[in-house]
Amino acid sequence: MSYTNTINSREVIYSDLNYKFRILPNIKDLAIKKDVDAVKQSVMNILLTNRGEKPFEPLYGGSLRDYLFENFDMITAAAIRERIRTSIVNYEPRVEILSIELNDYMDRNALRIKLELKIISPEDLITSLDFIVERLR
């Protein structure tokens, strides 16, 4: 009689530090984000960073706050979509953008962005990212 032990474990594809810098009390170490959450955090970081903010990378970032006080029309929407696409294509190779939906909140000077993303991994996961860009003060 022979026994075969097979252990199947799930491999973590992507991981990154949690930018909230929380310390996990049980292990006294920084929390990390894994897989989908790590990639979403990276996309948010790219899009919400202003161009010129990252040293030695003048074109890094989406600078989406630049569009908050613009008149929201088809031309502005096309410019925002293009800025999102080029930022993601240039700086996040783990993601493919499937769709971009924009909603303007003129009364709040805010812009709602909903992205449908395909995370390039062995499973090709599809997820969405929904956030609001608004002025800081």
Q: 14 near 39, Cβ under 8 Å?
A: yes
Specify the pLDDT at position 9: 46
pLDDT on residue 31: 65
Rounded to whole angstroms, how far apart are CA atoms 52 and 58?
4
- DSSP-derived letter for residue 35 is H
How many Cα atoms sit within 13 Å of 4 on the Cβ side? Answer: 2
Domains, the chain, in order of start with CATH, read 36-134 (3.10.450.40)
Q: What per-residue confidence (pLDDT) applies to 6? A: 53
Q: How far apart are CA 37 and CA 51, in angstroms?
A: 24
* Spans of the chain below 50 pLDDT: 7-9
pLDDT at residue number 24: 62
Q: CA-to-CA distance for 74 and 80, rounded, in angstroms?
A: 10
Q: What is the pLDDT of residue 116?
A: 96
85 touches 95 (CB < 8 A): no
Q: What single letter denotes the amino acid at residue 83?
A: R
Q: How many CB atoms lie within 10 A of CB 37?
A: 15
